[in-house]
Amino acid sequence: MERQRGAAECIVCQRRRDSGIWVLGMLICSQCEEKLVESKAADSGYDIYVDRLRVIWQHVFDAEAGASAKLMEGLWRQLNV
Ligand SMILES: [Zn+2]
């Protein structure tokens, strides 16, 4: 995770924001970040954040799987040259 400048649509609240945490090109705005940090399982609204985070992490896992596939493809080519 890293912080960058530039406007984008927050993946949680889907509003256009210009600051927050970037995860693989997806923005979690500062407001939502605070809500996520403050959220407790008993609070209403928690589920939707958990669902959103699931979507985010699915993207992360997909991206990592893609990187691993490319790495394996590269190794496979080297072995077969
Ligand atoms: Zn947001």
Range of the domain at 64: 2-80
Q: Is 12 exposed, middle or buried (0-12, 13-18, 19+ CB in 10 A)?
A: buried
Q: Is 15 helix (H, G, I), strand (E, B) or coil?
A: coil
Q: Is the pLDDT of residue 67 over 90?
A: no
Q: Tokens in use for 56? A: 């985010």
Q: Kindly give the distance from the C-alpha atom of residue 2 to the centroid of ligand 1, in angstroms, as a whole number.
A: 16
Q: Kindly give the distance from the C-alpha atom of residue 29 to the centroid of ligand 1, in angstroms, as a whole number.
A: 4
Q: Which residues pair with 7 in a beta bridge?
A: none
Q: Kindly give the distance from the C-alpha atom of residue 30 to the centroid of ligand 1, in angstroms, as a whole number.
A: 7
16-44 tens-digit pLDDT: 998 888 877 788 898 888 877 776 555 56
Number of domains into which the chain is organized: 1
Q: Among residues 48, 43, 4, which one has the least CA distance to residue 22?
A: 4
pLDDT at 59: 73
Q: Kindly give the distance from the C-alpha atom of residue 5 to the centroid of ligand 1, in angstroms, as a whole number.
A: 15
Q: Is the pLDDT of residue 78 over 90?
A: no
Single pTM value for the model: 0.47
1-20 tens-digit pLDDT: 555 556 888 988 889 998 88
Q: Kindly give the distance from the C-alpha atom of residue 73 to the centroid of ligand 1, in angstroms, as a whole number.
A: 37
Q: Is the pLDDT of residue 52 over 70?
A: yes
